[in-house]
Amino acid sequence: MAATASLDMLNAARTGDPLALYVHWPFCVSKCPYCDFNSHVRDSVDQAEWRGALLKDLAHEAALLPGRRLSSIFFGGGTPSLMDPATVEAVIAAATRHWAPTDDVEITLEANPNSAEAARFADLAQAGVNRISLGLQSFSDASLRFLGRAHSADEGQRALAAAQSAVDRVSFDLIYALPGDTLEGWSRDLDRALGLGTEHLSLYELTIEPGTRFATMVAKHDFDPLDAERAAELFEHTQARAAAAGMPAYEISNHARPGAESRHNLTYWRYGDYAGVGPGAHGRRLGMRTVRHRKPENFLGAVARNGHGLVEEEALTREEAAHEALVMGLRLAEGIDVAAIADRLGVDDLVADAAVTRLASHGLLWRNGDRIGTTVAGRLLLDSILAEVAL
């Protein structure tokens, strides 16, 4: 591989590429037992204070990324539907002043289905949001209680209707492979999801993440996760059934009608630049990895002192960038163009060719000229595949 040099010069030529913006809102009403995201419960939130802090943090990133076109904004969390619509509007207005938006700029906000939050959807659309990603998680009240969700199944259906009335583009999340899940039960839920008229679905297998309340419960034998073989069966059924319904997986857990893929998330997976602002937000700009302070109070303090919330800013080596591009790209059904990425990042090789050939012969990878990708079976074993093919 080429020498471990900064990617500044290599990325200078990419400053004309569209830019994505991620805005993290860290607050939730309660912490879900499966969640390992940067989320925090607070008795009160000063919206004006947070509006000002986010705008300062955004201005810092914009000064380092001048002249870019803005292709997407994504408000993630936490629970961004707890944001005052005026805060959302101010961030969108500032972002589109700093960077000229593309004609089809995608502005997504993650939302919970609680009635109080769903009542804000029209106001959020008025503020500029044009895509809502709704955390339904389940159609079952019993499953919602197990997952620690604060909404009922009926509230979820009403929230989905409200979202579809407010904006043209709607996605929702479901979590499957819960303890006791069966192929028959999940198949019914999946068919219901596919019939609800959205253009995008995020269908996640329950994962027991370290440090979560579920991890503690499993360690205490409060419940046993679904066994791996049955979970794999549900995954494969999900892939086949959604594809047959015209919503194939374009990424491991994300399904969309053609043209309705999340443009923001595609920027991540295609290894484009994105600015990350707000507590705990990660970013990637011009060969630099950026990380903000995670704890809300520490983030606010850093913005007050420094004008930004950065806690880490590190130049990626070519090898690090190549590995990240491989990890991200093999999540996608479209795969990656090995030669194009190697040329872009200035490395001699991206993958071990013999390993690619061997895994393709086992039906875990496919190859078409310089492009390689994972099969449905391969996506179940992505970590193992990466360990074999990465140089």
| Total structural domains within the chain | 2
Write the pLDDT tens digit of every residue in 42-68: 989 999 999 999 999 999 999 999 999
Q: Give the mean pLDDT of 24-52.
A: 93
Give tens-digit pLDDT for 358-379: 999 999 999 999 999 999 999 9
Does residue 343 sit in the same domain as residue 246? no
Please state, as a whole number, how many other Cβ atoms lie within 10 Å of the Cβ of residue 189: 17
Cα→Cα distances 301→62, 96, 297, 306, 380, Å = 20, 26, 6, 8, 42
Q: Is residue 294 part of a domain?
A: no
Same domain? 108 vs 223: yes
Q: 333 and 187, same structural domain?
A: no
% pLDDT > 90, the chain = 91
What is the 8-class DSSP label of residue 129? -
- Residue 275 within any structural domain of the chain: no
**Together in a domain, 210 and 347:** no
- 208 in a domain, yes or no? yes
Predicted confidence band at 1 (pLDDT cuts at 50, 70, 90)? very low
Looking at the fold, whether 110 and 221 belong to one and the same domain comes out as: yes
pLDDT (tens digit, 9 = 90+) per residue, 97-128? 999 999 999 999 999 998 778 889 999 999 99
Instruction: Give the count of alpha carbons within 13 A of 242, CB side only.
Output: 30
pLDDT at 115: 78
pLDDT bracket for residue 3 (50, 70, 90): very low
Buried b (16+ CB within 10 A) or exposed e, 252-277: bbbbbeeebbbbbbbbbbebbbbbbb
Mean pLDDT for all residues in the chain: 94
Residue 317 maps to a domain: no
The CATH number assigned to the domain holding 234 equals 3.30.750.200
pTM reported for the whole predicted model: 0.94
Condensed to tens digits (0 to 9), the pLDDT of residues 248-306 reads 999 999 999 999 999 999 999 999 999 999 999 999 999 999 999 999 999 999 999 99
- Is pLDDT of 349 > 90? no
Domain hosting residue 365, numbered range: 322-391
Pair (204, 58) in one structural domain: yes
Q: Is the residue at 302 inside a domain?
A: no
